Structures are given as structure tokens and as C-alpha cells.
Amino acid sequence: MVTPLIVLTDRRQCTRPLPDVVAAAVDGGARLVVLREKDLPDGERAALAGRLHAVLAPAGGLLLLAGPTAGPDGRHLAAADPMPPRPAGLVGRSCHDGGEVAVAAAEGAHYATLSPVFPSLSKPGYGPPLGLSALAQRFAIPVYALGGVDTPERAYACVDNGAAGVAVMGAVMRDPGIVPAFLSAVTS
């Protein structure tokens, strides 16, 4: 997996329908999307995944489902989700410290998100921010900074301090037109 940006969905923060936001993010260069929306009934979530995959696939993008159920291209597991015995596709894991990243790597995850790096508007009060120094550790798998990465300047700081890339939710859900600026920040 080589991507400097992971987009996580949150339809409640969208300024227009989620498929339109994801399409705009893909038009801006996003190639990996994690569909969260865990509160949707299974059928509705599967239908939404189908619509989003139809947007991503022609661009060579990947769609992962958050949680233990695999999406078209894999899954993104929560910190407490069990690793499936024979996972198909790309597998990522949400982590909240270096120890959890080490466990994710040992389990066979392809990447991890590490959060929250900064205070987060999307999840206020979700643990104390880890700060940029948490990204400076050596990890066995690519680690993506998540949590409060709401500006290209913060994205640049994360990569400059050791992150393989950034995972962004709120900023992209509110304005998918910001994707090129994030990509520029993390690839310069």
C-alpha cells in the first residue's frame, strides 16, 4: 500500500451527500477511503459501499470497511477488533500508542493509524493528544497520523516527524476540495 492520504468517512460532517464528497476527494487525488458509518443497517451500509467503490475503482482507488466485515478491498479494524484468521485484502488497524502498533504489525496488519495526534473536532475529548513525538518511533508497518490533522500544515508536520502519511476525516468531509492541498503537503 503506497498512499500518503487515507480518507475516513463521516456523513454527519458532509456538506453534501457522502458519495458526492468521496467523488470530489477522488477527483482531488484520494485513493484510499475507509467507510465508517457503522450505525447504518447492514444492507444500507453495503449499498453505500457499492456506490463508493464504483467511484474509487475506476481511479485505481481502494475502499475498506471499518470494522470486522471486509469491504471490497479490505477492512480497517478498531483497536479491540479481533484479527480475522485469513483476512482478504488490505487490513489496517486503529491504534492509540506504539505498543498497539507493534501488536498490529505482529498480527499482520498492513498499516495502522495512530491517534489522536492533535485535539480532534470530530471526536472531542477522545484521549489526550499524543503529539508529534509519538510519530518519531520506528514502526514495522506504515503509520498514519489521525486526529486533529485538519490542515495541510499539520499534515506536513506529521510526515516531517515520521508518519508514512495522514488519515483525515472532518476536514475532507466538510471540504473535499482540500485533498490536493493535503496531498501536496505530505508529498513535498
Q: What are the backbone dihedrals phi and psi of residue 184, each rounded to the nearest 5 degrees, phi first?
A: -60, -40
DSSP 168: E
Hey, what amino acid is at 56?
L
- The residue with cell 498497539 is 100
pTM, rounded to two decimals: 0.96
Q: Domain tally for the chain? A: 1
Displacement of CA 90 from its chain's centroid (Å):
12
Q: What are the backbone dihedrals phi and psi of residue 54, each rounded to the nearest 5 degrees, phi first?
A: -65, -25
**DSSP characters over 124-166:** TTSS----GGGGGS--SS-EEEESS--SHHHHHHHHHTT-SEE
Predicted pLDDT at 77: 97
- The residue with cell 476536514 is 171
DSSP 60: T
Predicted pLDDT at 68: 87
Burial of 153 (0-12, 13-18, 19+ CB in 10 A): exposed
Closest CA to 163 of 121, 123, 115: 115
Predicted pLDDT at 121: 72
As a whole number of angstroms, the distance between CA 161 and CA 110 comes to: 20
As a whole number of angstroms, the distance between CA 179 and CA 168 comes to: 9
Q: Could you list the residue range(s) of the whole structural domain that residue 73 is in?
A: 5-187
| Helix and strand counts by DSSP (H, E) for the chain | 6, 8
Predicted pLDDT at 75: 97
What does the pLDDT profile of the chain (188 residues) look like in tens digits?
A: 679 999 999 999 998 999 999 999 999 999 999 999 999 999 999 999 999 999 999 999 999 999 988 899 999 999 999 999 888 899 999 999 999 999 999 999 999 999 999 997 766 566 789 999 999 999 999 999 999 999 999 999 999 999 999 999 999 999 999 999 999 999 98
CB 158 within 8 A of CB 135: yes
Residue 76, domain CATH: 3.20.20.70
